[in-house]
Structure 1
Amino acid sequence: MGESNLRQYIDDFFDELILYDDYYNGHYYKMLLKTGIDVFLDNENSYTAYEIYRTFFMIYQISHENKSEKHSPNEIKIVKEKNILLDLVKTMKDYEENTGDLIEKQRDHFIHSVNVFLLGLAIYSQNKSYRDKFKQYVLNSPYKKYYRIDGEFSHEEFLYRWGVAALFHDIGYPVEIIGKQLKKFINDGIKSISSSYNADTAIDFKDFNEFNTIVKKDPNFADKYTSVYPEAKFLNLFKPTDIMAHKISTDFKGIDVNQVIKHLDSFVDIMGDSGFIDHGFFSSILVLNSYGYLIQKYAKNNDFFFYPIVDSATAILLHNYYRNVLQKKPFDLKTLHPSQSPLAFLLILCDELQEWNRQPFGVKDKQRSHVNELVINIDDRGMDVEYIVREGAMGLGFSEDKEEFLKTVLSLRSIFKFGLRIITDVSQDNIIRENVHSEAQAPDILLRNVETIAIQIHNQYVETTKQQYEEKLALGEEIDDEFLEKYNNLTTFDELTPQLKIANIRQARSIPNKLDIIGCEIASNDDERDAILRFSKDEILDLAILEHQEWCDEKIGTGWTLGEKDVENLVTPYLVPWDELTEDIQQYDIDPIKNIIPLMDSLGLKVVRTKERLLTFEMHNFYSEYNKSAGHFDDLPSYIKYSNYKQTDFLLRILSELGYDVIDIEDAGETVMSFDEDSIEYLAKREHNEWYKLKVNLGWTYDAVKDDVAKTNPNLVEWDQLDHETKELNRRTFRNLPQLCGNVGLKIVKN
């Protein structure tokens, strides 16, 4: 698609923007906000993101100070009161960062919200159709205090409403974090006893009504609003859910306000019974509680609350609630049109599309946290979004799932004549390597074995270094100071510093995990499986990169920092990504991988293929008998081998869905010799759909001719569109699966 235009689009927005306080009171608020955004775009992190939150909520701070009042140049006015809105932001940030390690697949929402905000500004600036619908929505409202410059509608009205909606849309996420922590804690504990347990958890409010209440400081708070909407007199307008229910019934014709109130009143119980938490629900209430209190306290125009603020808060509610509730019975709403709720439309769109640079909390290798780049093109005709994955993975079928979801929820062609297109550009093997690494589940080694292996790793290192030294002398090579220092410091394991002992222990512990990634495991010499004599170049490279990542984690965790080498003060120049290392330094990570096989041999053990990986080979060979173009497994590219490993793992998971386990043939349990035809159809369809998503996410497309270079395949269609012969080939695999398992020492049993 070309170069990303996001920065230019945001520049366009600010070029057209005039802030009221800048124009009439001589301030430079736009410059301050734009400066913060420019710095954030140069370096996205929590520090620069917080600058945007801070500037925005200080520009629009609600306090007793008249922020528009212009003082003399030498007068400094001190305001000692706290900024309640910024306090909410800090709370979300702290909860998310400090609890990320306790939750699986926990991702950043703090920086994410800033990117949602910026993407919304970009769409607004480039799409006239959306701008017109937003403006008309405001003008059609009874609210007449919207921002104007010289009597004309100002883009600041959008900036303000959208800023509150986007920057606060995940402010209630700590509630979801707590719920996920509880669920993970309970399930991790009981699953460690037996996989047959399946406990569900939810947060229970002792008194939800207390939370769902705006502090009452002005009993006449809603009088003007109810004079415009007489039916609202029968609602409790100090109750956020009643306010939003009325807003929904006003924006969406035909929706019964009492029906929405009833659902929102019971929503906490519904979430508890169903085992999920909608953080948007809590975010919207927090926004209304905060602004409701501030506006009453500081005697602002109450219309300011009941129109722009309620509009923003209701959009926050709707960004999950619309698809999860209002599009289902009894409401049955169709796709959301931007004229019904422009902010909700934009928030759903931007929240779904904002997937670049999202930091997965709990991931130890922070160098791989920001994994994606964005290329974007927006105009009145359409919107193209391309995600470029340098490291890490977006998830299988990401683009198709996103497009399908957005088409189901939003009336996209109401602002984009040609619709929305999402593309994912993934390095071929990265997505597979990342998933294989993250899902490795090798057993722990007994401590006595860790000790033995750690000592042997050190002894190998000593022997290798001595050999290298002798070779350099024999060849007359110059020995640099760094290598000479390493040679002169050789010692026994017992005499190593604690730091170096930890390094060897860490390597020993990680061997089973590394082997699992490439489909291997440690076995005794009497195991019938053939020993692996050497790893492939691709396997060595993958595991060496992982070894370096683990080494970085170890060094950072034990107090080392990046800088010019200073061992005494724990400073090293090698805390950098693998690609930034010289070949000589990379060799320090490659050698431990090459040494795994001789290391195991020296301990009377051997490295063998796991039976699950042997099943991968067996299935591929079986498939090759009917499809000669498949080729031999050993000749496949590394990323295709990894994808086959993933397919086998997926196959074992879908077997579990049907109540089957794949276990060692020697274990207790009656062997399943065949599946019924319904199960075969289910398994074949699920397996094909997983293959389809994987291929698409690796950049493959449909074509009548298979071409591995151009990445085209005639089978890249949904299951129902496959020809009979190809479907039958998929089914044949599952008909023969019990036998294929038996060939590698496995069997299928009912669990």
Structure 2
Amino acid sequence: MSKIKKVDIISINTLLCQVIEGYEYYHYSFNYSTMKRFLEPEIEFIDRQSLAKELIEGIIINHGKKDILKSIVKLADFEQKAQELKPELRDHVVHALLCYVFGAYIYESFLKPSGIIINDIQWKIACLFHDIGYPVEVANEIGIKYSKTVNSISNNIGFPVDEVYFKTVPINFEKLQNNKNSFDLIQKNLDSWGLKINAKQEYDKNIDSGRVCHGMISSLSVLRIIDILYQKNNPERIFEEKIVDGVDWNQRWFIEDIIPACSAIFCHNLPPECFKESKINRHNAPLAFLLRVTDCLQEWERPSKENPEGYLSTKFNLSIDDEKLILFADIPLERKFKINSELQAALIAEDIVIQ
């Protein structure tokens, strides 16, 4: 593999635009001219969001899973509209697509040459839809703040009453067809990846504490919807070709592609303490590894409450060779320290840093 050294470029988006032009269309399924416009540094953020949605739809359609597109993209629309309730929220639509193309670059230039293989449909589903459960997390946070306000007003009145509280308890998200349970299927993947994480226990711990993890909700939502689609189109769940409206609903693809993708989504936002006994190893769990790497490192073009304008892509540059991936970032040191800490807490990735 030829080494790619850090060079003077306008922005990391420009670098991505240059390198992805040669990627096989079949694997990544995006329209290059549209992607090029999406990556232009000078484009307005609202236009970038619109192009991101268009590209995500095209990526799924071009894979031949239109039913999955129509169902899951509705959740992505819902996620985008959550910003109307809480304008300071970080964007997740542009983030998902930047992670997708950034991850493609990391895979092709850094992981694949070392013999690591990641299935294209797994990457499409895991990366593009890893944050669609975010509105549930936001709704829970809004409810908690609302109840605190009610309690504050009540206390100021000076009359003793019981405090109110808000708690989100998702019902039946884990239930699949044929009496299957999402936690059982996800757990098998976590075990096979060598991760000492109890999926159901971590989920219950979050709910009992009054918190909602958008990664868990995203995972359960995607798995439930796709499971229903498979049940509709392959009710016997046969492990052989089952073509319906030009799409193969072979149960094999559900087991080998969909469940691992949703398991990677489940892992991507787990707190560091979940990985104290076992970190994500790229050789055992390449999909979960790549998703966590890109989600942590993709810091540009992401407005937030603390940074309403977001960091420009011109503040980021990249170096990749056989031995190390370095993301150069002209951002506050404390932010870089936090990102590095998040990476190293969950991954075996001493050769990946932001500096």
Please report the TM-score for the alignment, with normalisation by the length of structure 2.
0.79
Task: Write out aligned runs for 1:399-414 (5 A).
Answer: 399-413=336-350
Aligned-residue offset at 1:33: 2.6
Which structure's relative contact order is higher, taking Cα pairs within 8 Å and 6+ residues apart?
A: 2
Is residue 106–residue 362 contact of structure 1 (8 Å, CA) maintained in 2?
no
In the aligned structure 2, how far is the partner of 1:387 from the partner of 1:191? Answer: 42
- Which of 227, 230, 245 in structure 2 is aligned with 1:292? 227
Structure 2 counterpart of 1:250: 192
Amino acid at match of 1:120: G
Task: Write out aligned runs for 1:383-394 (5 A).
Answer: 383-388=325-330
Amino acid at match of 2:84: N
Task: Write out aligned runs for 1:38-187 (5 A).
Answer: 38-42=36-40, 43=43, 44=45, 45-62=48-65, 83-95=70-82, 97-101=83-87, 106-127=89-110, 129-135=111-117, 157-158=119-120, 160-187=121-148
Superposed CA offset, 1:411-431 (max 9, x none): 114xxxxx23423xxxxxxxx
Is the alpha carbon distance of 1:369 and 1:6 closer, same or farther for their aligned partners in structure 2, counting shifts above 3 Å? closer
Is residue 107–residue 290 contact of structure 2 (8 Å, CA) maintained in 1?
no
Q: Does structure 1 residue 420 correspond to structure 2 residue 352?
A: yes
In the aligned structure 2, how far is the partner of 1:378 from the partner of 1:242? Answer: 38
Structure 2 counterpart of 1:369: 309
Structure 2 counterpart of 1:15: 22
- Which of 282, 290, 310 in structure 2 is aligned with 1:346? 290
Task: Write out aligned runs for 1:619-698 (5 A).
Answer: none
In the aligned structure 2, how far is the partner of 1:13 from the partner of 1:250? Answer: 32
In the aligned structure 2, how far is the partner of 1:385 from the partner of 1:63? Answer: 35
Amino acid at match of 1:406: L
Superposed CA offset, 1:98-129 (max 9, x none): 1124xxx52112211111112101111221x4
In the aligned structure 1, how far is the partner of 2:254 from the partner of 2:166? Answer: 32
Superposed CA offset, 1:468-491 (max 9, x none): xxxxxxxxxxxxxxxxxxxxxxxx
In the aligned structure 1, how far is the partner of 2:85 from the partner of 2:306? Answer: 8
In the aligned structure 2, how far is the partner of 1:306 from the partner of 1:202? Answer: 37
Amino acid at match of 2:102: L
Q: Does structure 1 residue 35 correspond to structure 2 residue 33?
A: yes
Structure 2 counterpart of 1:643: none
Structure 2 counterpart of 1:564: none
Number of residue pairs matched?
320
* Counterpart secondary structure, 1:134: coil
In the aligned structure 2, how far is the partner of 1:176 from the partner of 1:92? Answer: 10
In the aligned structure 2, how far is the partner of 1:16 from the partner of 1:47? Answer: 23
Is residue 132–residue 218 contact of structure 2 (8 Å, CA) maintained in 1?
yes
Aligned-residue offset at 1:185: 1.8
Is residue 375–residue 385 contact of structure 1 (8 Å, CA) maintained in 2?
yes
Q: Does structure 1 residue 306 correspond to structure 2 residue 255?
A: yes
Aligned-residue offset at 1:11: 4.3
Superposed CA offset, 1:291-311 (max 9, x none): 112223233111111111111
* Counterpart secondary structure, 2:330: strand
What do you get for the CA RMSD once the two structures are aligned? Answer: 3.0
* Counterpart secondary structure, 1:320: coil
Is residue 60–residue 66 contact of structure 2 (8 Å, CA) maintained in 1?
no
- Which of 163, 182, 185 in structure 2 is aligned with 1:240? 182
Is the alpha carbon distance of 1:305 and 1:11 closer, same or farther for their aligned partners in structure 2, counting shifts above 3 Å? farther
Aligned-residue offset at 1:133: 4.1
Amino acid at match of 2:334: G
Structure 1 counterpart of 2:246: none
Is residue 316–residue 344 contact of structure 1 (8 Å, CA) maintained in 2?
yes
Is the alpha carbon distance of 1:244 and 1:174 closer, same or farther for their aligned partners in structure 2, counting shifts above 3 Å? same
Aligned-residue offset at 1:359: 2.1
In the aligned structure 1, how far is the partner of 2:226 from the partner of 2:338? Answer: 36
Is the alpha carbon distance of 1:89 and 1:385 closer, same or farther for their aligned partners in structure 2, counting shifts above 3 Å? same
Is the alpha carbon distance of 1:99 and 1:184 closer, same or farther for their aligned partners in structure 2, counting shifts above 3 Å? same
Aligned-residue offset at 1:14: 4.6
Aligned-residue offset at 1:48: 1.1
Show structure 2 runs of 5+ residues with no match: 1-5, 157-162, 235-248
Is residue 13–residue 125 contact of structure 1 (8 Å, CA) maintained in 2?
no
* Counterpart secondary structure, 2:328: strand
Show structure 1 runs of 5+ residues with no match: 21-28, 65-80, 139-156, 220-235, 414-418, 424-751
Structure 2 counterpart of 1:648: none
Aligned-residue offset at 1:267: 4.2
Is the alpha carbon distance of 1:5 and 1:211 closer, same or farther for their aligned partners in structure 2, counting shifts above 3 Å? closer
Which protein shows a greater Rg?
A: 1
Amino acid at match of 2:19: D
Is the alpha carbon distance of 1:323 and 1:340 closer, same or farther for their aligned partners in structure 2, counting shifts above 3 Å? farther
Superposed CA offset, 1:259-278 (max 9, x none): x6xx4335444213323221
* Counterpart secondary structure, 1:321: coil
Structure 1 counterpart of 2:265: 316
Amino acid at match of 1:420: I
Aligned-residue offset at 1:409: 1.9
Is the alpha carbon distance of 1:405 and 1:211 closer, same or farther for their aligned partners in structure 2, counting shifts above 3 Å? closer
Superposed CA offset, 1:440-476 (max 9, x none): xxxxxxxxxxxxxxxxxxxxxxxxxxxxxxxxxxxxx
In the aligned structure 2, how far is the partner of 1:46 from the partner of 1:347? Answer: 21
Structure 1 counterpart of 2:239: none
Is residue 116–residue 286 contact of structure 2 (8 Å, CA) maintained in 1?
yes
Superposed CA offset, 1:335-382 (max 9, x none): 32101111111111111111111123699xxxx624333222222222
